[in-house]
Structure 1
């Protein structure tokens, strides 16, 4: 049986349990390539930072390991952030 829980963005590849959210933390779901389905911990984000979204490192994006993927909150569903594209 495979584990269908989402991967948490930023966990180390050798983390023994990269799919278990920390109690008391707030997460948003990333939607669309290249980080589709992962959870992003936004616990320390300010209200303004949450409204702006984030540029996240992703080795799977258009620009390889040095690139960033742009995710912004979905209108009407701020707990889901949609992929806007990649940048170097």
Structure 2
């Protein structure tokens, strides 16, 4: 893990966590675009079928506010990047 990744915040980390960054021994994808741009998604325990699906992540900062989800799909040519595909309810 390089220094830039160590300074990043992990999606779902508690806002009061003094160290919301990545943990050693875990696998992460970088969220690209959309409301969660730049956050890291912990994909450590995801199965190959889960990795191939669109991730629908709950967030209050997307188009639909509280109760909405923002969607990301793994980039085939760069699997450590997850591109934003839109927001949903």
Note whether the superposition's TM-score is higher than 0.5: yes
Aligned positions, number: 84
Question: Which secondary structure state, in structure 1, belongs to the residue aligned with residue 56 of structure 2?
Answer: strand
Q: Compute the RMSD of aligned alpha carbons.
A: 1.1
Task: Report what 2:50 is aligned to.
Answer: 49
C-alpha distance after superposition, 1:5-48 (max 9, x if no partner): 221000011111112x1111100000001000000000010011
Task: Report what 1:59 is aligned to.
Answer: 60
Ranges of 4+ aligned residues in structure 1 off by more than 6 Å: none
Task: Report what 1:14 is aligned to.
Answer: 16
Which 5+ residue runs of structure 1 have no aligned equivalent?
none
Task: Report what 2:24 is aligned to.
Answer: 23
Question: Which secondary structure state, in structure 2, belongs to the residue aligned with residue 64 of structure 1?
Answer: coil
Cα shift at 1:53? 3.0
- Paired with 2:57 and 2:23, the residues of 1 have a C-alpha distance of 20
Kept in 2, the 8 Å contact 1:53–1:81? The answer is no
